């Protein structure tokens, strides 16, 4: 009889359905988002935006994981920072560009207007920055060229709903303006992200950034005495040495039989936790993980004494998100079809780059994570002239066009020798 009940229980727990964008989960949990839905209309949009942001996190993860540049590398980013930056950009987008941003972020336009989204971010950012929890901060900023006059309504919404700090800079001096942005981000991330912007496009007129910083102490710290050198198995054939922390304690864990993944919750000394997921097969987990799994794990985790080993590490990641966002359907903002008339009617604008950098440090006392997203906005007229600079090894051919007779053929690897 007991066996039967256990089996039935399992089946029910396993029936997690990963829904597409715009849907919200069934709400068995008693967290903040569900309480929001019983309130007025604006509380409902906070819940819708929150759900969309969660779905967006895993869609962006999968896109990044599939990207050729990510193969064999760690992946670490802040979905909260990326969605806040893109939502702030969508304030100034119109037409198809706006539709693509909304749908890419997972906002259902028959349920949410831009104003709903702005108000929801206002609530979410305020909550994230709650001063009673000094360990977390999140915010945005906008850097505007001295010669560029965005619509006042655009700046007003950014200030009011996204708490954007505003600065005037001279983008003609591209090194200085990049330094100004980098200095701001470095300060807001307590030195963790020190060079968000590597170089600025000559025709930049505006630069939007969002940052996030989190520093937490474990509720129960690891004892340095048990930290030992150990191996980490990168794959079947590769081992690398790591510094492994160890603690035997009561921990909340859950074994997900569908994803063949064991989940460990490491609580911080606050309302935050780190979830660590150890799958049998990484692809099974990363292809299928969705917000409903997280809800299920948090709900059904059980406290049991467990001997836990976690490596101490410090990682940094850096992404240009142009391709990834394009693959997620946000194409027009990058090209000559960009419609950013909510920022300026007179000037034709486009997004030049979306960059993202993140860091994560884990040790015996806790974890520190930081990230920033930057969106460069440029004048489109400049973008019509493609640049083709042969400043690296290239091949040459001298050919007769009609007969295609090849007169000369070569490769230039150093024009000075």
Ligand X SMILES: *[C@@H]1O[C@H](CO)[C@@H](O)[C@H](O)[C@H]1NC(C)=O
In the complex with ligand X, the residue whose CB is nearer, 281 or 406, is 281
CB 92 within 8 A of CB 103: no
Backbone angles phi, psi at 28, to 5 degrees: -75, -20
Kindly state whether residue 267 participates in binding ligand X, applying the rule CB under 6 A: no
Q: Which of 37, 129, 322, 331 binds ligand X (CB under 6 A)?
A: 129
Find the shortest distance in angstroms from Cβ 307 to ligand X: 21
Kindly state whether residue 416 participates in binding ligand X, applying the rule CB under 6 A: no
d(CA 350, CA 344): 11
Q: Which of 113, 115, 130, 381 binds ligand X (CB under 6 A)?
A: 130
Kindly state whether residue 110 participates in binding ligand X, applying the rule CB under 6 A: yes
Q: Which of 113, 260, 320, 381 binds ligand X (CB under 6 A)?
A: 260
Kindly state whether residue 282 participates in binding ligand X, applying the rule CB under 6 A: no
In the complex with ligand X, the residue whose CB is nearer, 226 or 394, is 226
Kindly state whether residue 278 participates in binding ligand X, applying the rule CB under 6 A: no
Backbone angles phi, psi at 185, to 5 degrees: -65, -40
Which whole-number Å values give the CA distances from 325 to 86, 105, 110, 307, 341, in the listed order? 10, 10, 22, 41, 20
In the complex with ligand X, the residue whose CB is nearer, 177 or 326, is 177
d(CA 387, CA 262): 50
Q: Give the x/- contact pattern for ligand X in 140-169, rule: CB under 6 A.
A: ------xx---------------x------
Find the shortest distance in angstroms from Cβ 208 to ligand X: 15
Q: Which residue is nearest to ligand X (CB)?
A: 22
Query: Judging by beta carbons within 10 Å of its beta carbon (0-12, 13-18, 19+), is residue 142 exposed, middle or buried?
Result: buried
Query: Judging by beta carbons within 10 Å of its beta carbon (0-12, 13-18, 19+), is residue 104 exposed, middle or buried?
Result: buried
d(CA 208, CA 333): 14
- Residue count, binding to ligand X (CB under 6 A): 26
Find the shortest distance in angstroms from Cβ 151 to ligand X: 20
Give the long-range contacts of residues 231-240, CB within 8 A, separation 24 or more.
Answer: 232/311
Q: Which stretch binds ligand X (CB under 6 A): 7-15, 36-44, 108-116, 386-394?
A: 108-116
Kindly state whether residue 126 participates in binding ligand X, applying the rule CB under 6 A: yes
Kindly state whether residue 108 participates in binding ligand X, applying the rule CB under 6 A: yes
SS3 label, residue 144: strand
Beta-strand runs (E) in 98-203: 136-145, 165-169
End-to-end CA gap in the chain: 85
Kindly state whether residue 221 participates in binding ligand X, applying the rule CB under 6 A: yes
Find the shortest distance in angstroms from Cβ 408 to ligand X: 40
Kindly state whether residue 281 participates in binding ligand X, applying the rule CB under 6 A: yes
Find the shortest distance in angstroms from Cβ 220 to ligand X: 7
Kindly state whether residue 300 participates in binding ligand X, applying the rule CB under 6 A: no
Residue identified by tokens 């990207």 is 67
Kindly state whether residue 127 participates in binding ligand X, applying the rule CB under 6 A: yes
Residues forming a β-bridge with 302 = 253
Find the shortest distance in angstroms from Cβ 405 to ligand X: 46
Which value, in Å, is the radius of gyration of the alpha carbons in the chain? 24
Which whole-number Å values give the CA distances from 211 to 36, 190, 371, in the listed order? 25, 11, 6
Q: Which stretch binds ligand X (CB under 6 A): 139-147, 194-202, 388-396, 400-408?
A: 139-147
Scan residues 23-62 and list those touching ligand X (CB under 6 A): none
d(CA 6, CA 14): 12
In the complex with ligand X, the residue whose CB is nearer, 213 or 334, is 213
Find the shortest distance in angstroms from Cβ 140 to ligand X: 8
Which whole-number Å values give the CA distances from 263 to 59, 275, 284, 296, 334, in the listed order? 20, 7, 14, 11, 39
Kindly state whether residue 170 participates in binding ligand X, applying the rule CB under 6 A: yes
Site residues (vs ligand X, CB under 6 A)? 21-22, 108, 110-111, 125-127, 129-130, 132-133, 137, 139, 146-147, 163, 170, 172, 217, 221, 260, 269, 280-281, 284
């Amino acid at each position: 009889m007991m066996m039967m009940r256990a089996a039935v229980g399992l089946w029910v727990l396993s029936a997690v359905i990963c829904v597409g964008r715009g849907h919200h989960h069934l709400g068995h949990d008693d967290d903040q988002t569900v309480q929001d839905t019983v309130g007025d209309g604006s509380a409902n949009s906070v819940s819708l935006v929150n759900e969309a942001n969660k779905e967006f996190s895993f869609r962006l993860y999968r896109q990044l994981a599939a990207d050729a540049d990510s193969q064999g590398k760690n992946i670490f980013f802040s979905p909260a920072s990326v969605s806040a930056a893109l939502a702030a950009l969508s304030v100034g987008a119109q037409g198809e560009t706006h539709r693509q941003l909304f749908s890419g972020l997972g906002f259902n336009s028959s349920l949410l207007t831009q104003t709903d989204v702005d108000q929801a971010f206002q609530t979410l950012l305020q909550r994230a920055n709650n001063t009673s929890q000094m360990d977390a901060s999140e915010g945005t900023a906008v850097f505007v060229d001295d010669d560029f006059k965005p619509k006042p309504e655009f700046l007003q919404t950014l200030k009011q709903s996204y708490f954007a700090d505003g600065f005037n800079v001279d983008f003609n001096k591209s090194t200085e303006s990049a330094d100004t942005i980098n200095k701001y981000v470095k300060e807001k991330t307590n030195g963790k992200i020190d060079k968000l912007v590597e170089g600025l496009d000559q025709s930049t007129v505006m630069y939007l950034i969002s940052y996030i910083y989190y520093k937490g102490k474990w509720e129960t710290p690891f004892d340095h005495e048990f930290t030992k050198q150990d191996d980490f198995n990168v794959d079947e054939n590769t081992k690398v040495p790591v510094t492994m922390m160890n603690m035997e304690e009561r921990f909340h864990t859950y074994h997900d039989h569908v994803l063949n993944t064991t989940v460990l919750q490491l609580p911080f000394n606050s309302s935050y936790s780190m979830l660590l997921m150890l799958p049998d097969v990484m692809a099974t987990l990363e292809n299928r993980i969705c917000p409903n799994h997280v809800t299920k794990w948090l709900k059904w985790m059980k406290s049991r004494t467990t001997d836990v080993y976690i490596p101490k590490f410090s990682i940094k990641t850096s992404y240009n998100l142009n391709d990834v966002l394009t693959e997620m359907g946000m194409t027009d903002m990058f090209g000559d079809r960009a419609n950013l008339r909510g920022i300026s009617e007179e000037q034709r604008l486009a997004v030049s780059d979306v960059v993202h950098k993140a860091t994560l440090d884990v040790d015996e006392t806790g974890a520190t994570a930081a990230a920033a997203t930057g969106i460069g906005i440029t004048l489109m007229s400049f973008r019509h002239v493609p640049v083709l600079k042969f400043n690296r090894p290239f091949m040459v051919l001298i050919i007769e066009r009609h007969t295609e007779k090849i007169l000369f053929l070569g490769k230039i690897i150093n024009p000075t020798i």
